[in-house]
Amino acid sequence: MQEILTLLFSLGDARPAKTIPNWERAPWLEQIYCREALRDTETPRLLTTHLPAHVLAPALQRSKAKVIYVARNPKDVAVSFYHFHHLAKFLPDPSSFDAFLTQFLEGTVHYGSWFDHVKGWLGQRHLLDILYITYEELHQNLRGTAQRLSNFLGCPLAPGTLAALEQHCSFSAMRDNAMANYSLIPAEIMDHSQGRFMRKGEGERGWGRWGTAGAAALTPHALCATGVVGDWRSHFSPEQNALFNRRYQEEMGDTELPSQWPMA
């Protein structure tokens, strides 16, 4: 989303996305550097955050901010977040995937419960100027999603912007762009020896289906996100999948979601 919005606001000019790290173009609100990064930034400003609604929404309700909320299939979120724990030195060792999945379902991971996070921001639909997007939509229909974003932001699509989006915002392009793949993050923050933040390809997967004990050998390149929709199927055991489905139904069964994810 950071890359898409950068290109929308630059009218398709990819130079900012290729020369400025995304954490400077769209700084993380919860990071200490955010205020300084915004000091000389011209409007419209882009901000990124994982903060839950109960923390941030009250301030947004008093502002003119437009909010774009990106949600993803929680099973893919759990797998991706597990990988990220092996890279991020500021996060605890996730232990086995089975143990991490239990914490994820209990909401005892960083930023808390996925279920509460999604329901919290859905509850702001009548209080904020907010657009809900899913990761799957971005993956399956980039052009259509870009048009929705353009309409929401009042930022007309300039000639050539869609072509630039398709070229620059593909997973492979972002994976190879040092301004987007987090390879410039200092080693004291991210352990790059554990793998790349973004990687893709069957030959790079390196690990099979996890059993309930999580007893599988990890290879360094296997600890990064693939960007694949539905990649959780390569990692969940039948027991883990059944457990997750029960919890999902308990938490989200009565929730009106803008999009449904295939949970089977």
Grouping H, G, I as helix, E, B as strand and the rest as coil, residue 66 is: strand
In this structure, of 61-65, 148-152, 158-162, 201-205, the range with the lowest mean pLDDT score is 201-205
More confident residue, 106 or 28: 106
CB–CB of 56/49 below 8 Å?
yes
Write the class of the CATH domain 2-252.
Answer: alpha beta
pLDDT at 208 over 50: no
pTM, to two decimals? 0.83
Beta carbons of 146 and 8 less than 8 angstroms apart: yes
Whole-angstrom Cα distance, residue 98 to residue 109? 14
* CA 22/CA 16 separation, integer angstroms: 9
Query: Is residue 86 pLDDT above 90, yes or no?
Result: no
pLDDT category at 207 given cuts 50, 70, 90 is: very low
Q: Answer yes or no: 50 catalytic.
A: yes
pLDDT in tens, 88-123: 888 888 989 999 999 999 999 999 999 999 999 999
Q: Which position has the higher pLDDT, 162 or 249?
A: 249
Q: What is the mean pLDDT of the chain?
A: 83
pLDDT tens track for 219-248: 333 334 556 789 899 999 999 999 999 999
Cα–Cα dist 135/169, whole Å: 13
CA angle 119, 235, 78 (to 5 degrees): 25
Helix (H/G/I), strand (E/B), else coil: 243: helix
> 230: helix, coil or strand?
coil
pLDDT of residue 195: 59
Alpha helices (H) along the chain? 2-9, 15-19, 22-25, 34-39, 53-61, 74-87, 97-106, 114-122, 135-140, 142-153, 161-168, 171-175, 238-252
Cα four-point dihedral sign 84, 85, 89, 91: positive
Q: Which of 104-113, 153-162, 185-194, 245-254 has the lowest mean pLDDT?
A: 185-194
pLDDT at residue 263 in the model: 80
